Amino acid sequence: MGIMKEISVKALAKINLGLDVVRRREDGYHEVKMVMQTIHLFDRLEMKKTAGGITMTTNLSFLPTNENNLVYKAAKLLMDEFQVKGGVDIHLEKFIPVAAGMAGGSSDAAAALVGINRMFQLGLTKRQLMERGVQIGADVPYCVMRGTALAEGIGEKLTSLPGVPMCYVLIGKPGINVSTKFVYENLHADSLQYHPDIDGMVASIEKGDLCGITDRMGNVLETVTCKHYPVIEQMKGILKEHGAVNALMSGSGPTVFGIFTDDQNAKEAYEAMQEAGLARQL
């Protein structure tokens, strides 16, 4: 089979069902313990083979299309390592909100690694792509892996978990952007009053116990983000009032999601969220 001329790759968004920060390390990084879950909201990368170099376009004019973009960085990483002859043109169609705590950029980079590997038949396994992904960002290996996983270390130590039982997820992003750097810089990791029970959540996932999972949902970064942006608590309130078993901020925010066992409740919560005007429709 010849080398593919063009391919299309999906980049899936993630939410954190649980996010704990264990400590701040000497190097300034934070040691985390979190449960990650991919959801069916995705960006798309259209990749075409060219004569040489990397060119990139995107549907959002404010995103860089050079080495400051993680997609470009990921493509370059593999093409340099394997001295790929020929080039690639990548069009990134974004649907995952930017700076939303849903790993959009990391997932795009992961999709670029998968796409380049496939297009130029580099023969790398998923594990080998994950090892390279960590050079681009801590969430990239998980975004290559996908599914339900426990992430430890700075997010790069991953343990695959069974899938979460069937449920509905409603996601809302308020019209604010939150800098991950700001949130971590203002987190007092060593004096947190509360730590979510991540081990208990993992045990519930292994048992397939949805209530056990939702009862233990928690995110220590809310201590920073909610203080600065009260809209996050308001959105969680609306989701719970309308039947969400639980609601949480994802990542460093400001995206909020609710878990529902009933699609009718999820629809009602969606309408209530629209009426409150707290989140814009994607």
E runs forming strands in 98-245:
148-153, 157-161, 168-172, 218-219
Task: With beta carbons less than 8 A apart as the criterion, state whether 239 and 258 touch.
Answer: yes
Closest to 91 measured CA to CA, from 120, 63, 59: 59
pLDDT in tens, 212-245: 999 999 999 999 999 999 999 999 999 999 999 9
pLDDT, one tens digit per residue, over 179-216 is 888 999 999 888 899 999 999 999 999 999 999 999 99
Per DSSP, the three-state class of 136 is coil
Rg (CA), the chain: 19
CA-closest candidate to residue 94, choices 59, 142, 144: 59
What pLDDT is stored for residue 282 in this prediction?
54
Q: Which of 14, 73, 76, 236 is catalytic?
A: 14
Torsions phi, psi for 89 (to 5 deg): -110, 125
- 20, 139, 173, 236: which is the annotated catalytic residue? 139
What residues does 160 pair with on adjacent strands? Answer: 149
Q: What angle do CA 186, 251, 110 make, to 5 degrees?
A: 125
Is 139 one of the annotated active-site residues of the chain? yes
CB 41 within 8 A of CB 8: no
List the beta strands (DSSP E) in 84-165.
87-93, 148-153, 157-161
% of the chain beyond a pLDDT of 90: 87
Give the residue with greater pLDDT, 66 vs 98. 66
Residue 262: active-site member: no
The pLDDT tens digits of the residues spanning 60-90 come to 999 999 999 999 999 999 999 999 999 999 9
pLDDT at 92: 98
The conformation of residue 191, written as its DSSP 8-state character, comes to G
